[in-house]
Amino acid sequence: MKVHVQTEVNGEAVEFLCDPTTTLLEVLRDNLGLRGSKEGCGTGDCGACSVELDGALACSCLILAAETQGRSVATIEGVATPEALHPLQSHLLKSAGLQCGVCTPGIVVAAKHLLEQDPNPTEEAVRYFLAGNLCRCTGYDKIIRAVLDAAAEMRGEAA
């Protein structure tokens, strides 16, 4: 039997029918056309599908879509505005913190969550916090620099 779910994604009310076995990631990509979140591993190891559910950072491959009834989901699609990229996004571009780009949405969502909790993290804190976001291209260093530079810009300091 299909489950009827009413929830909120990036501030907009959405409604869908899904099989109970469907994950939030599948609904985002296949039902709602939000394909920014990627499936890397499907087991919560890589972080490419990172979203926020009621403000908690989580892997959407490990959330049943049915669980989101009445909750609030935030995805990569809600990060930039029509006018401008988020500082994390512009600094990832500037620092060449991405190559193939599959990990990037998850990194932006996770790093944004970190900076909202801690606007001035140490390099070590950024590295630990993003340990669940795997990148097989960059070697991480440019990503970490980009996050630290974005944090500085968001604090109003010259990056």
Partner 1 sequence: MQGFAYEAPSSLEALRARLAAAQGAGELTQVLAGGTDLLVQMKQGQRAPGLILDIKRVGETQALAVDGDTLVIGASVPAAKAKAFPLVAEAFPGLAHAIDLIGSSQIQGRASLGGNLCNASPAGDTIPALIANGFEAQILTAEGLRTLPVEAFVTGVGKNALAAGEVLLALQAPVPGPRSGDAYQRFTPRTEMDIAVVGVGARLTLDDAGVIASARIALGAVAPHAFLAEAAGAALVGTRGEPEALEAAAAAAMEAAKPISDKRGSADFRRRICGVLVKRVVAQALERCTTEGAK
Closest separation in Å from C-beta 54 to partner 1 = 10
Torsion angles phi and psi, residue 11, rounded to 5: 85, -5
Q: Using the minimum distance from each CB to partner 1, give the nearer residue, 62 or 93.
A: 62
Q: Which residues bind partner 1 (CB under 8 A)?
A: 1, 3, 19-21, 23, 42-45, 47, 50, 52-53, 56-59, 61-64, 66-67, 69, 110, 113-114, 128-133
Place of tokens 């669940």: 132
Closest separation in Å from C-beta 31 to partner 1 = 16
Closest separation in Å from C-beta 63 to partner 1 = 7
Q: Using the minimum distance from each CB to partner 1, give the nearer residue, 9 or 126.
A: 126
Distance between CA atoms of residues 42 and 22, nearest Å = 12
Q: Using the minimum distance from each CB to partner 1, give the nearer residue, 68 or 89.
A: 68
Place of tokens 């795997």: 134
Torsion angles phi and psi, residue 37, rounded to 5: -70, 130
Distance between CA atoms of residues 152 and 122, nearest Å = 11
